[in-house]
Structure 1
């Protein structure tokens, strides 16, 4: 049982769209990720997903609307909802999601991180 400094963890890497595990709680991982640009449309069939903005701004696009998140705000996306994260500026995010969650959900491609690194 050790405290975790999210800012120090975010300083440990530079790549975008590559979530890193910083801890776990029950059957979920706590991850941090740096985002910039557009991701891809996807959904998570069996898992909810939480985005908490630490730094920057994040837009979560849905087919019928966009939700804008500023620093200190979070959004929980229920399982099965198609979405696309977009970060116009470098944005730092904490994710809380089931250990089974793939970052690209139902889409498998070169951006899929099958086994996130623990930092």
Structure 2
């Protein structure tokens, strides 16, 4: 990753498909990713790491087994390691994610919704 200035909105404009994470930059052993979400994802967990969600635009519901967490623009929520969750976006949502390098978007669930991390131009 270069030491150039990156713009979150410009990066999100380059994201063409929902649920495809793109690396914005890296900090130590963590990736800062941007993504656009729409619809319901898959129930999954990340057994070895927390996952930080920051909503840029829209409303994101992070479904947990015991409650729903609703995030709007500028809201941040951390899903603790090992906690099963399922993100849902009734309308398009733009987000920033922070998680250790190599974290797979579907966590322990795998399956056809698993996407490789893409690089931004």
TM-score greater than 0.5 by the shorter chain: yes
Displacement of 1:17 in angstroms is: 0.4
TM (normalized to structure 2)? 0.95
Which residue pairs with 1:13 in the alignment? 15
Which residue pairs with 1:118 in the alignment? 119
TM (normalized to structure 1)? 0.96
- Consecutive unaligned residues of structure 1, counting only runs of 5 or more, are none
Structure 2 counterparts to residues 19-98 of structure 1, below 5 A: 19-98=21-100
Count of aligned pairs: 118
Runs of 4+ displaced beyond 3 Å? none
- Consecutive unaligned residues of structure 2, counting only runs of 5 or more, are none
Q: Deviations over 1:25-63 (max 9, x none)?
A: 010000000000000100001011000000000000011
Displacement of 1:68 in angstroms is: 0.3
- Aligned alpha-carbon RMSD (Å): 0.7
- The DSSP-based 3-state class of the residue aligned with 2:19 is coil
Displacement of 1:2 in angstroms is: 1.4
